[in-house]
Amino acid sequence: MASSVTPEGYKDTILGVVPQEWNIRCLGDLLSRCTNGLTYNVSISNGIPVTRIETISTGEINYAKVGHIQNSVGYEDFRMQKGDILYSHINSLSQIGKVAYYNGKKEIYHGMNLLLLRANQCLNKQYLYYMLLTTYMRHMAQVIAKPAVNQASISTRDLKKIKIPVPPLSEQQKIAEVLSTWDKAIEKQSQLIEKLELRKKGLMQQLLTGKKRLPGFSSEWKTMKLGELFDERNETNMPALPLLSITANKGIILQTESEKKNTSNDDKSKYKRICPNDIGYNTMRMWQGRCALSKLEGIVSPAYTIIIPHNNINPYYMEMLFKQPFMVYRFWTHSQGLVNDTLNCKFPSFSQVKVIIPDLKEQNAIIEILLSCDTEITLANQRFESLRQQKKGLMQVLLTGKNRVIR
């Protein structure tokens, strides 16, 4: 078997093939600071904002999840500087190694249970941040972590020993600029998605309540009980049908496509059949709006109630209506039980809930607008995911030197 040949301009290292100009350095040699933070009580509601573990749970600094300490002397050493990086070194094994970059826009102090990493003059701050995001660094965090009963931990000593590829400072800067360009595009796309979702929410609040009427519609809306609009489907003993999962964000999907582990019973004789255009709702969680319209035929857990819409209503319209806050409240008032955890809204109770709805023609017109909003949101989310994948691909080639930004 022929041995692999190192490409011209590259060299073999402990981390694999890298450009000739690059060095392999221990992380600790590239940091001017790698320490834990303030250990004071952060339970007060006002004062100096201080980071906590949950502050970076989403991969960025969330100022809604900080603690506070009383304003006093001696804290200035813990005030974070622009370009500092928070590193999760005490967490569950799946979360350990998470990082967040501090952009310096809002004052915050470094608290306990997160390490603060500060690059020295040999390392570009953003380059360090992107390097810590790589699959390699997340893997190394798992390798050096010491598991305990409920969480794992990484010592600063072990973290500093991790070796990383280091290009010349000018190339670090260029790599960071390229990746930050993608970050800005991703953030802009995220803001667009948020605006589109808020617009849809506003339209739903106006159109589904009749506060705003579409041109050409003036007929009076009717007050009806849900029992006049739906029948219950209670068909069981159909184990040959595919098992479906009713999800919070994806609607009704095949269980095989669900991210959740299949915990269903082997005996599915009591599982309920659901058909296209049926609505399935969680009998014990309808007071939280847990329902979805089905596009599939299959079976679902007996914990769900299946309802069949009559011909005079649009099932998409009713699904969206059921999730409105005022409707969720009505389901809560019609649920039976002593406390929220035991509340249930079986079909007899569900059927007594009153709604005010337009005729089918106006329902269809409203849904056409709301579904067009959904299409825009879906396309925006696809663009968002495409940008994330592009950035991921760039990180894989730029941070390893496979592709160069400077020749």
Q: Are residues 337 and 372 in the same domain?
A: no
| CATH code of the domain covering residue 260 | 3.90.220.20
Q: Are residues 341 and 366 in the same domain?
A: no
Does some domain include residue 305? yes
Does some domain include residue 8? no
Does some domain include residue 6? no
Last residue of a domain, one of 147, 166, 185: 166
Q: How far apart are the C-alpha atoms of 168 and 19, rounded to whole Å?
A: 10
Q: Report which residue type is found at 324.
A: Q
Q: Are residues 347 and 375 in the same domain?
A: no
Eight-state DSSP code of residue 383: H
Q: How far apart are the C-alpha atoms of 126 and 174, rounded to whole Å?
A: 10
Total domain count, the chain: 3
Residues 280/252, Cβ–Cβ less than 8 Å: yes
Q: What is the DSSP string of 81-105?
A: -TT-EEE--EE-TTTTT-EEE--SS
Does some domain include residue 382? yes
Q: What is the DSSP string of 129-181?
A: HHHHHSHHHHHHHHHH-EE-SS-EE--HHHHHH-EEEE--HHHHHHHHHHHHH
Q: Are residues 30 and 70 in the same domain?
A: yes
Q: Are residues 155 and 71 in the same domain?
A: yes
Last residue of a domain, one of 144, 166, 188: 166
Does some domain include residue 28? yes
Does some domain include residue 69? yes
Per-residue pLDDT, 150: 83
The number of beta carbons lying within 10 Å of the beta carbon of residue 104 is: 12
Give the residues across from 198 on adjacent strands.
none
Per-residue pLDDT, 2: 45
Q: Are residues 86 and 157 in the same domain?
A: yes
Q: Are residues 162 and 172 in the same domain?
A: no
Does some domain include residue 265? yes
Which residues does the chain have with pLDDT short of 50?
Answer: 1-2
| CATH code of the domain covering residue 394 | 1.10.287.1120
Does some domain include residue 13? no
Residues 279/315, Cβ–Cβ less than 8 Å: yes
Q: Are residues 40 and 80 in the same domain?
A: yes
Per-residue pLDDT, 1: 41
Q: List the helix and strand counts (H, then E) for the chain.
A: 8, 23
Eight-state DSSP code of residue 88: -
Q: Which domain holds residue 400?
A: 168-218+358-407
What are the Cα distances from residue 151, in Å, to 41, 47, 133, 332, 405? 21, 30, 21, 38, 40
Q: Are residues 155 and 178 in the same domain?
A: no
Q: At what angle do helices 169-207 and 360-398 cross, to 10 degrees?
A: 170
Q: Are residues 53 and 174 in the same domain?
A: no
pTM score, whole prediction: 0.86
Question: Which segments of 234-351 does DSSP mark as H helices, in order?
Answer: 315-322, 325-333, 347-350
Q: Are residues 351 and 378 in the same domain?
A: no
Q: Are residues 334 and 286 in the same domain?
A: yes
Per-residue pLDDT, 230: 98
Per-residue pLDDT, 321: 97
